[in-house]
């Protein structure tokens, strides 16, 4: 075992297997099962996309970001224009204003995380990616924790930002937490150091890894010592084969037809 792997095991120990067992056993629909269906266009991160995944018995991956007051909404982009009838940044709006915004193509309103959890109701596991592009993660993390209070289904949070995992470890250690990783543009020595540093800061229960990086020594060594690995975003049969070898479950995006 290399020195870096020994340090990984010492500083960021693997979770008890039972704690993370639910992550395995079903694939995850990336932002729900979305695309074009016989009923029209189903948008990502919409109630219809989540219903479609639930009907297949597949897990759900969704994104959340914060309104001006920190309230967690299920939405991927920082800007509103691609997916809604409005423009501007979601983070600049009050929660009550976001509640009134229509998703395109008749897909309803932007859901609050709590509403999505009520919809899923433990029928399938859900991975909640917390979108944060700055150091101020507390308000959104707190909103996610509050949304999860009393939720009895299988759920986990994850983020590229190691500060998110660190926040949940300190303030809500019972919630499963994952570190999202990509090696894109950082396969050099500096990038390898950064991955280990992020792992040590996050102390995650699992990794969510970029499918384009496989095979990856970093992912393989951490998986071998007990961290489950889910991989995103699987879109082709070749990527499915890679995921089957190098990860425990895929987060896939294969649109409805």
Residues listed for the chain: 257
| Residue 37 and residue 257 in contact, taking contact as beta carbons nearer than 8 Å | yes
Tell me the pLDDT of the chain averaged across its residues: 95
Residue 220 to residue 162: CA distance in whole angstroms: 20
SS3 for 187?
Answer: coil
Q: What pLDDT is attached to residue 255?
A: 56
| Model confidence at 257: pLDDT above 70 | no
DSSP 8-class letter at 184: T
Instruction: Give 210's pLDDT tier (boundaries 50, 70, 90).
Output: very high
Condensed to tens digits (0 to 9), the pLDDT of residues 55-89 reads 999 999 999 999 999 999 999 999 999 999 999 99
Distance set, CA 91 to CA 52, 140, 166 (Å): 28, 11, 22
| Residue 79 and residue 85 in contact, taking contact as beta carbons nearer than 8 Å | no
Place of tokens 């970093």: 218
Q: What pLDDT is attached to residue 218?
A: 97
Instruction: Give 38's pLDDT tier (boundaries 50, 70, 90).
Output: low
| Model confidence at 152: pLDDT above 60 | yes
Contact residues for 77 (Cβ-Cβ < 8 A; gap 6+): 83, 90
Residue 104 to residue 123: CA distance in whole angstroms: 27
The secondary structure of 101-136 as a DSSP string is PBBGGG--BPPBHHHHHHHHTTSS-EEEEE---SS-
Condensed to tens digits (0 to 9), the pLDDT of residues 162-175 reads 999 999 999 999 99
């Amino acid at each position: 075992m290399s020195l870096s792997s020994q340090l990984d095991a010492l500083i960021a120990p693997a979770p008890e297997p039972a704690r993370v067992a639910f992550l395995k056993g079903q694939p995850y629909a990336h932002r729900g099962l979305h695309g074009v269906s016989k009923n029209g266009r189903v948008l990502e991160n919409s109630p219809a996309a989540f219903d479609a995944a639930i009907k297949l018995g597949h897990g759900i991956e969704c994104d959340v970001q914060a309104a001006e007051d920190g309230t967690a909404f299920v939405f991927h982009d920082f800007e509103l224009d691609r997916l809604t009838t409005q423009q501007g940044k979601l983070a600049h709006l009050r929660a009550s204003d976001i509640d009134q915004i229509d998703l395109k193509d008749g897909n309803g309103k932007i859901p609050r995380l709590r509403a999505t959890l009520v919809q899923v109701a433990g029928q399938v596991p859900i991975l909640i990616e917390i979108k944060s592009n700055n150091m101020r993660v507390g308000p959104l993390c707190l909103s996610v924790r509050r949304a999860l209070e009393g939720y009895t289904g299988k759920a986990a949070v994850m983020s590229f930002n190691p500060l998110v995992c660190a926040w949940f470890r300190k303030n809500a250690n019972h919630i499963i937490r994952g570190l999202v990783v990509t090696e894109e543009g950082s396969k050099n020595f500096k990038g390898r150091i950064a991955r280990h540093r992020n792992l040590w800061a996050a102390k995650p229960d699992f990794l969510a890894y970029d499918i384009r990086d496989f095979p990856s020594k970093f992912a393989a060594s951490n998986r071998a010592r007990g961290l489950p690995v889910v991989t995103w975003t699987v879109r082709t049969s070749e990527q499915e084969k890679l995921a089957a070898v190098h990860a425990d479950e895929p987060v896939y995006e294969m649109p409805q037809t």
